């Protein structure tokens, strides 16, 4: 990505996070980046293009951070670390999650991308759960589709914890990320085998839990 | 509530659901209700007052519908029926859940009411879970705060399933309510005792499960 595009996305992210997508004009953005309006729309003709660019950046960043994580021998610990990393990225791109409904309504391409990404996320969780079953950390399904249902619940949770937190919590960024990463693991906890629960205790995933 | 107020809230609900709160003007609302602008603002000076009125109506409606439910001897079945009723009301007042973030930001009194209602919801779930533990349908806590964590997850889920559904699903109203009521019960399922699981099978809570 060239430097101008980088600067545009970086400034757009700051403005979107501060004011909300619908309250930022292309003209204001150009002014804040310090480039001509015509130059900005050459790179990104519309807000939809910018939001798509930011969404792409968000995915790359999450992927990069996760690739950089130190490997460890506990799948539960790995899931926790991956979640914390992912939720930090969610926080960084928070306009996206706070305005998900508006964004999906206003920008149909973004909605389409989200629906594609959901499929990737599904496969990822399916693998994580499958691996944990294979390692006897999670019990097997008690009925058909039980873990597909769990993945849907995790999706709703992951997309919306930030929004919920902004209504009900008075927490710092760090506290939010810790609290909600811990609660994501709580989705998995009741499916753990005795071995899985021992593992869960061993890796000492805790939260200060200020609800 | 007098008839004019009723008419205003009913029309406001239809317009909010169709166009979104921020796209409806007080003037347009007065016109659609068929009363003078001055008459409307005599009853509801601002959108915040209307949204508060609708939120109050929503709670009353949920309460009334639940009171009218036929009592049955299964706490699990009761929770399921209560959830379906509650989620039908969520669907009826869907503008509220689709624009939760905007509404809480724009109308601080609504946010305050939500934070109060959350406390009531917490007590309600705490009682439901406590009763099920007493009836040996749910196991006891394996660590301190386990069910408080569950209630937080249920809150996020209940507030946001509709929003998520509007992004990822292509379902009818009935299908949505069935699917997401079923998934709410899935939050409880892994904590059920063997007796609870037998009960769950017996009452045959199913979904057509079109994910």
Complex-level ipTM: 0.93
Q: What fold, for B48-202? A: Tetracycline Repressor; domain 2 (1.10.357)
Query: How far is A69 from A82, CA to CA, in rounded Å?
Result: 8
CA of A190: which chain B residue's CA is closest? B190
Q: Following DSSP, what letter does each residue of A138-200 receive, concatenated?
A: BPPPSSTTHHHHHHHHHHHHHHHHHHHHHHH----HHHHHHHHHHHHHHHHGGGB-HHHHHHH
Based on C-alpha coordinates, what's the Rg of chain A? 19
The backbone region for B25, taken as left when phi is positive above 0, alpha when psi lies in -120 to 50, beta otherwise, is: beta
Q: Do B111 and A148 touch (CB under 8 A)?
A: no
**What's chain B look like in SS3?**
CCHHHHHHHHHHHHHHHHHCHHHCCHHHHHHHHCCCHHHHHHHCCCHHHHHHHHHHHHHHHHHHHHHCCCCCCCHHHHHHHHHHHHHHHHHHCHHHHHCHHHHHHHCHHHHHHHHHHHHHHHHHHHHHHHHHHHCCCECCCCCCCHHHHHHHHHHHHHHHHHHHHHHHCCCCHHHHHHHHHHHHHHHHHHHECHHHHHHHHHCCCCCCCCC
Q: Do A111 and B167 touch (CB under 8 A)?
A: yes
CA of A16 to nearest chain B CA: how many angstroms apart?
A: 14
Q: Which of B146, B160, B211 sits opposite A160 (nearest CB)?
A: B160
Identify all chain B residues contacting A182, using CB atoms and an 8 Å cutoff.
149
Identify all chain B residues contacting A117, using CB atoms and an 8 Å cutoff.
none
Q: How many residues comprise chain A? A: 211
Residues 6+ apart with CB under 8 A from A51: A21, A96, A103, A107, A110
Based on C-alpha coordinates, what's the Rg of chain B? 19
Q: Which residues from B are below 8 Å from A when comparing CB atoms?
A: 98-102, 104, 111, 114-115, 118, 142, 145-146, 148-150, 152-153, 155-157, 159-161, 163-164, 166-168, 182-183, 186-187, 189-191, 197, 209, 211
For an interface test with A, give the residue of B19, B103, B160, B199 to mutate (most A CBs within 10 A): B160
Q: Tens-digit pLDDT profile for chain A (211 aa)?
A: 799 999 999 999 999 999 999 999 999 999 999 999 999 999 999 999 999 999 999 999 988 887 777 677 788 999 999 999 999 999 999 999 999 999 999 999 999 999 999 999 999 999 999 999 999 999 999 999 999 999 999 999 999 999 999 999 999 999 999 999 999 999 999 999 999 999 999 887 776 555 4
Q: Which residues of A77-98 are buried (b: 16+ CB within 10 A; e: fewer)?
A: bbbbbbbbbbbbbbbbbbbbbb
Q: Which of B156, B163, B209 sits opposite A100 (nearest CB)?
A: B163
Q: At B199, list the tokens.
A: 């009960």
Q: Do A211 and B148 touch (CB under 8 A)?
A: yes
pLDDT digits (tens, 9 = 90+) for B131-146: 999 999 999 999 999 9
Looking at domain B1-45, does it have CATH number 1.10.10.60?
yes
Which 3 state secondary structure label does DSSP give A43?
helix
Identify all chain B residues contacting A148, using CB atoms and an 8 Å cutoff.
211
Which 3 state secondary structure label does DSSP give A28?
helix
Size of interface A-B (CB pairs under 8 A): 91
Q: How many residues comprise chain B? A: 211
pLDDT digits (tens, 9 = 90+) for A59-83: 999 888 877 776 777 889 999 999 9
Domain range annotation of chain B: 1-45, 48-202
């Amino acid at each position: 990505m060239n430097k101008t595009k980088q600067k545009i996305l970086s400034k757009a992210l700051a403005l979107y996070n501060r004011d909300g997508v619908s309250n930022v004009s292309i003209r204001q953005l150009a002014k804040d980046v310090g480039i001509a309006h015509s130059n900005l729309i050459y790179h990104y003709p519309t807000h939809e293009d910018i939001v798509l660019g930011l969404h792409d950046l968000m995915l790359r960043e999450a992927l990069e951070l996760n690739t950089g994580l130190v490997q460890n021998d506990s799948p539960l610990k790995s899931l926790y670390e991956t979640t914390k990393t992912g939720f930090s990225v969610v926080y960084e791109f928070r306009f996206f999650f706070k305005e998900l409904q508006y964004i999906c309504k206003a920008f149909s391409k973004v909605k389409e991308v989200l629906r594609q990404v959901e499929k990737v996320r599904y496969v990822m969780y399916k693998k994580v759960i499958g691996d944990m079953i294979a390692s006897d950390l999670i019990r097997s399904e008690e009925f058909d589709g039980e873990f597909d249902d769990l993945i849907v619940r995790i999706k709703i949770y992951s997309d919306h914890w930030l929004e919920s937190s902004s209504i009900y919590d008075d927490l710092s960024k760090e506290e939010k990320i810790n609290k909600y990463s811990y609660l994501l693991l709580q989705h998995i906890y009741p499916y753990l085998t005795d071995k899985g629960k021992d593992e869960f205790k061993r890796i000492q995933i805790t939260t200060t839990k200020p609800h």
